[in-house]
């Protein structure tokens, strides 16, 4: 009677990692999970085994930061092409990275602008910065890094946009508009996404004010220009919320529609190797500057509370509500930076592999 070889029991850290990774893959489009899920899970299992043999449980845990950002960026790109159509059965790695990076930067830009607005008016923060140079240096580094990231995006995106329009004009001048055209169904999806973002944003603001506001706050405890929401008349509160939600939704929808239009032009066009390598260099610079801005904003927030806790806790500084808002902003910046870094790493690895 033949003896069967006993199945090797995997360590708990690998079993848990495989379970989490399987759940992450199931969050992607059904076609992607069906065609590539089993292969991706098999590769991940082998990576976990190799890491565990070399460094134990810590080695497996070290796989997660890079893997998570890379997988999320890939799933976002697949969802994008699932909803808005794709030119080929599978997007090239660099093309997927361009789309993922552009949307990650859009998210980063929202967060960066929100943090700049948080430090306005700047006079009280400048006064603290003169007393504590670390605060001034980190904020200056954050502000300049965001500006450089915007410049890198423009320098990297304009040549691609010029190439798209130039080739469309050579083939058929009337097809230029079709490259950037968004279908009504796609526009509704973007509008719904904008509304969801605004609702989550308003809900977060209301939740933080409810949690951190003093229960004994009187009517006169809030500035006239920034009257607490809980102290407004119900009818006025509903009107203000509806106006704010509507205005923010339209504004975010305009940004999303513009980003979608530019991304569709990339998906519907063909590029040479030279322009894609140029775009890869721009993605690398963008990832570096976004990471610098994220780290600088984190240090700036911590130094404010460490060096000048009374100012940080005051209304002129951050306060508990503003601090919760800043933490959320930094998290968003970190996520967008991780997506951009993963896109650059994946594209660079693919380019080096092809060159070899």
Split the chain (356 residues) into runs of 10 and give each run's mean pLDDT: 52 82 74 71 83 83 71 65 48 69 86 84 82 89 89 81 76 73 83 86 73 51 47 66 84 85 76 71 87 93 89 79 84 88 76 53
pLDDT given for residue 298 in this prediction: 93
Q: What is this structure's pTM?
A: 0.67
pLDDT given for residue 5 in this prediction: 44
pLDDT given for residue 79 in this prediction: 64
pLDDT given for residue 169 in this prediction: 76
SS (H, E, C) the chain: CCCCCCCCCCCHHHHHHHHHHHHHHHCCCHHHHHHHHHHHHHHHHHHHHHHHHHHCHHHHHHHHHHHHHHHHHHHHHHHHHHHHCCCCCCCCHHHHHHHHHHHHHHHHHHHHHHHHHHCCCCHHHHHHHHHCHHHHHHHHHHHHHHHHHHHHHHHHHHHHHHHHHHHHHHHCHHHHHHHHCCCHHHHHHHHHHHHHHHHHHHHHHHHHHHHHCCCCCCHHHCCHHHCCHHHCCHHHHHHHHHHHHHHHHHHHHHHHHHHHHHHHHHHCCCCCHHHHHHHHHHHHHHHHHHHHHHHHHHHHHHHHHHHCHHHHHCCCCCHHHHHHHHHHHHHHHHHHHHHHHHHHHHHHHHHHHHHC
pLDDT given for residue 277 in this prediction: 72
pLDDT given for residue 134 in this prediction: 87
pLDDT given for residue 32 in this prediction: 66
């Amino acid at each position: 009677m033949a003896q069967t070889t006993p199945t090797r029991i995997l360590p708990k850290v690998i079993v848990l990692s495989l379970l989490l990774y399987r759940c992450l893959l199931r969050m992607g489009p059904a076609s992607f999970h069906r065609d590539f899920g089993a292969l991706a899970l098999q590769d991940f299992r082998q990576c976990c085994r190799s890491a565990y043999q070399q460094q134990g449980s810590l080695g497996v845990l070290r796989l997660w930061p890079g893997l998570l950002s890379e997988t999320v960026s890939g799933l976002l790109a697949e969802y994008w092409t699932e909803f808005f159509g794709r030119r080929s059965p599978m997007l090239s790695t660099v093309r997927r990275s361009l789309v993922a990076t552009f949307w990650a930067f859009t998210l980063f830009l929202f967060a960066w602008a929100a943090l700049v607005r948080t430090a306005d008016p700047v006079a009280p923060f400048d006064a603290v910065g003169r007393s504590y140079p670390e605060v001034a240096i980190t904020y200056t580094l954050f502000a300049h890094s965001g500006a450089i990231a915007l410049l890198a995006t423009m320098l990297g995106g304009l040549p691609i946009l010029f190439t798209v329009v130039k080739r469309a004009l050579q083939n058929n001048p009337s097809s230029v508009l079709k490259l950037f055209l968004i279908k009504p169904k796609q526009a509704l999806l973007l509008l719904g996404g904008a509304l969801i973002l605004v609702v989550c944003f308003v809900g977060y603001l209301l939740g933080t004010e409810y949690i951190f506001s003093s229960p004994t706050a009187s009517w006169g405890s809030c500035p006239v220009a920034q009257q607490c929401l809980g102290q407004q008349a119900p009818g006025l509160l509903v009107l203000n919320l509806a106006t704010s939600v509507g205005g923010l939704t339209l504004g975010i929808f305009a940004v999303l529609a513009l980003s979608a239009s530019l991304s569709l032009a990339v998906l519907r066009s063909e590029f040479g190797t030279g322009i894609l390598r140029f775009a890869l260099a721009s993605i690398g610079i963008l990832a570096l500057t976004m990471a610098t801005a994220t780290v600088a904003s984190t240090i700036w927030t911590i130094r404010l509370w460490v060096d000048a806790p009374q100012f940080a806790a005051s209304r002129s500084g951050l306060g508990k509500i503003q601090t919760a808002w800043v933490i959320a902003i930094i998290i968003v910046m970190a996520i967008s930076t991780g997506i951009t870094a993963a896109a650059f790493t994946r594209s660079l690895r693919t380019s080096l592999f092809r060159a070899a």
